[in-house]
Chain A
Amino acid sequence: MRRSEARATASRTPRRGAVRVWDNERGLGLFEVIAGTVVATLAVLGLAYTFGVGRGLIDRYEVARCAIGEAQHVVDSLSLVRPANLAAGNRRFEVAGVTAGATHWTVTPVDDPLDGTAASTPPDPSPVDLYKLTIEVDWGTGVMADRLQISRFVAAQ
């Protein structure tokens, strides 16, 4: 039988081949089942891990929000101090009465170039026009260490 005739015969009896395939189904192999189970387990574990990570991040954001409140507290407290008495300092950062970290602040004199710079001629009569308050709140340790920093300018006079 030539190839063209064989192809024509096969195309005339397509259901015969289909029945043979049906008869020859061997089902799933053990390794296929094991591989499928391992993949499914990894997928489920991965999904569960994302939930845990999400929850951890939300708890981390809670401390971050408390840190914002702490930084605003320090900024508003320092804004009441006479500029001449401003100085760097630190205090404990507490969340719900428990120490979570530390708060540091620095005071940096700033020369506003509007009234001339200090090195110009004639020299600036008041080279300290502003104070820059920088508040840093640090909490956590190791890979969970976190930091928040805010700044505010206050007039020097």
Chain B
Amino acid sequence: MNSRSRIGNILGERGITLVEVTVVGVLAAIVMLALTGFYVNSQGTWIDSSSQAVTQREASLVLETLTDSIHVASSAIVTTGTLILNNADGIERSRFWLEPSDQRVHVGGGNPSVDQGPLETSRATQFVVAANDSMVYVIALQLHTASIDSVTMSTAAALINRVPPP
């Protein structure tokens, strides 16, 4: 067989018909749509999960920061949702509050108190605290993820450095 006849063999192929192209196109489109839907759903699940994990870590971090500050404080008062921790001499040591302008839990320090900025990047919608002579109760700390999910945590910490009653 010479080279011309070989080329003729190849050129003699009938190719694919319009119906075949249409069927393959429809099937490919269905498969691609299904894969795209799966990818988008998976991506959404992944983003939700990771932002939920980040928010949980941030809530734990806020609670740990609060607990550490409470342990070294001598007394605590709560006024209009703001937790104020004092030294043994009654001078303010630090304060924590939910700042409505950016919806973050802020920490302040010094006397007079200076806002040292937010403790977390997640949006907070609840920061409920209560205090007595010996304990501070974080009744609810609610943080929101980038999606609609929320994380609510609570704890309590003792004022270990409290001034003992006479």
Contact = CB atoms under 8 A, between A and B. Distances in A.
Interface of A is mostly: helix
B67 A55 contact: no
A152 B105 CA distance: 30
A19 B67 CA distance: 79
Contacts of A94: 154
Interface of B: 1, 6, 9-10, 38, 42, 45-46, 48-49, 52-53, 56, 59-60, 63, 67, 134-135, 138, 140, 142, 151-158, 160
A72 to B, nearest CB: 5
Contacts of A22: 10
Interface string A46-89: 01100110110011011001101110110011011000000000
Contact of A77 (B46, B49, B158): B158
Question: Which of A47, A55, A59, A62 gathers the greatest number of chain B CB atoms within 10 Å?
Answer: A62
B151 A69 contact: no
B155 A72 contact: yes
Nearest to A51: B45
B156 A61 contact: no
A16 interface: yes
Interface residues of A, number: 30
Interface of A: 15-16, 19, 22-23, 44, 47-48, 51-52, 54-55, 58-59, 61-62, 65-66, 68-70, 72-73, 76-77, 79-80, 94-96
Given A19-B6, A44-B38, A58-B56, A76 B156 contact: yes
Question: Which of A47, A58, A59, A95 gathers the greatest number of chain B CB atoms within 10 Å?
Answer: A58
A135 to B, nearest CB: 13
Given A48-B38, A65-B59, A70-B155, A80 B52 contact: no
Nearest to A57: B49
